[in-house]
Amino acid sequence: MLRENEIAAAIVDVAYKIHRSLGPGLLESSYEAVMIYELQKRGFAVSAQVPVPIVYESVRLDTGFRADLIVEDSVIVEIKSLDKIAPVHKKQLMTYLRLSGKRLGLLINFGEELIKNGINRVVNGLHDEKA
């Protein structure tokens, strides 16, 4: 079974490939569809628009959030297509990680001119071991 960092490395590779091919400026849903296709082509299990409930005061509320992608039931990928990522986007991803019990998330902004500037890694208790 692949570790989160190995999965993340493949996701980043796919993001570079997609950005190189399509460039910035498309809708988030377009990048999401192509990410799913590319990751599945590489043999990864990918779930899209996954509802994650909120548990508040021991009550489960199914009106939580939807993760754009969850890869190998392990890494959350949030896709944006904006001029700039706001600090709140990273905070949201951290909240998603905590609520879902996942340890690693990638916030990928395809709106950046250079995709390397649009990839943000957010960790929730994951030791930064190298893959």
pTM of the entire structure? 0.90
In terms of CATH architecture, what is 4-123?
Answer: 3-Layer(aba) Sandwich (3.40)
116: alpha, beta or left, given left = phi > 0 and alpha = psi -120 to 50? alpha
Instruction: Give the number of other Cβ atoms within 10 Å of residue 6's Cβ.
Output: 15
Domain ranges of the chain: 4-123
Confidence of residue 127 (pLDDT cuts 50, 70, 90): low
Q: How does pLDDT run across 97-108, given as a tens digit for each residue?
A: 998 899 999 999
Q: How does pLDDT run across 72-92, given as a tens digit for each residue?
A: 999 999 999 999 999 999 999
Asked whether 74 and 96 are in contact (CB, 8 A), the reply is no
Q: How does pLDDT run across 8-67, given as a tens digit for each residue?
A: 999 999 999 999 999 998 999 999 999 999 999 999 999 999 988 888 888 888 876 899
Asked whether 66 and 51 are in contact (CB, 8 A), the reply is yes
**Spatial separation of the C-alpha atoms in residues 120 and 59, rounded to whole Å:** 32
Q: Which pair of structure tokens corresponds to residue 15?
A: 């993001």
Q: What share of the chain is helix, strand, coil (3-state, %, to 5)?
A: 40, 30, 30
